[in-house]
A and B are shown apart, each in its own frame.
Chain A
């Protein structure tokens, strides 16, 4: 089996300025590897939403990206407060984001639904007081 290309990023909490660095770095890497533009876009959008969630809700975290020949797995890991009710959080329009996030154009309760929409598989492992890991899979072939 061919080893995947692995990328790692730090996501700093409350840092809206550098939010997006992990997803734009991943986007560049996928483009360089010749992945189709549609798949690159889906991966970048899903990852950016997850990254922003970690910035807004969890004081940052880490991103791990594993690029295989036909898919990418993106894992956003935080040590934040956890999600009390995942099915509620998955509903469009449900949001617990602070006003600062809303003023910046986020916090409309679209983040998790948008990740689901742009990925082939999405899973959330969360524990109250411990943190949340969002794992996103995007396949390159439609």
Chain B
């Protein structure tokens, strides 16, 4: 299975919070900005792509145990949210790519590395 470390490299994403990315398996992705929807649909091996950067994103990441949060469109991570992510062991990555572009790249990569 692909690791988050490989996925980060393919996406050209930056690590905003987190370590040991090579220990986290990735099997899919989930793209959504509505938290209620993400809670019920995101899977533990998903990269969750979103433009939301509020503190609740970390709570939802903890609830779903997703592999990481990927902030798209160059959205920045506020310091208090970063601190919460660190505290809860949530990996947050960042990219300039849109959610659509990041999803497409992730999908192509995971198809070749099932």
Contacts and interface: CB of A to CB of B under 8 A. Distances in A.
A105 B35 contact: yes
Interface string B52-68: 10111111101110000
A103 B33 CA distance: 10
Contacts, number: 67
Contacts of A122: none
Given A20-B59, A45-B63, A106 B80 contact: no
A48 B64 CA distance: 12
A23 B54 contact: no
Contact of A45 (B39, B50, B56, B88): B39
Classify chain B's interface size.
Answer: 20 to 34
Contact of B59 (A19, A103, A117): A19
B33 to A, nearest CB: 6
Contacts of A142: none
A18 to B, nearest CB: 9
Contact of B55 (A16, A48, A118): A16
B63 A41 contact: yes
Interface string B16-59: 00000000000000000111111110000000001010111111
Nearest to B39: A45
Nearest to B80: A17
A60 to B, nearest CB: 15
A73 B42 CA distance: 24
B56 A19 contact: yes
A16 B40 contact: no
A40 to B, nearest CB: 10
Contacts of A17: 55, 80, 84
A2 interface: no
A48 B80 CA distance: 20
A80 interface: no
Contact of B36 (A16, A23, A44, A110): A110
Interface of B: 33-40, 50, 52, 54-60, 62-64, 80, 84, 88
11 contacts: A16-B56, A17-B55, A20-B58, A27-B63, A104-B55, A105-B33, A105-B60, A106-B36, A106-B56, A110-B37, A117-B40
Which 10 A-B residue pairs are closest in the complex by CB-CB distance?
A20-B59, A110-B36, A105-B35, A104-B54, A105-B52, A45-B39, A114-B36, A17-B55, A108-B34, A44-B63
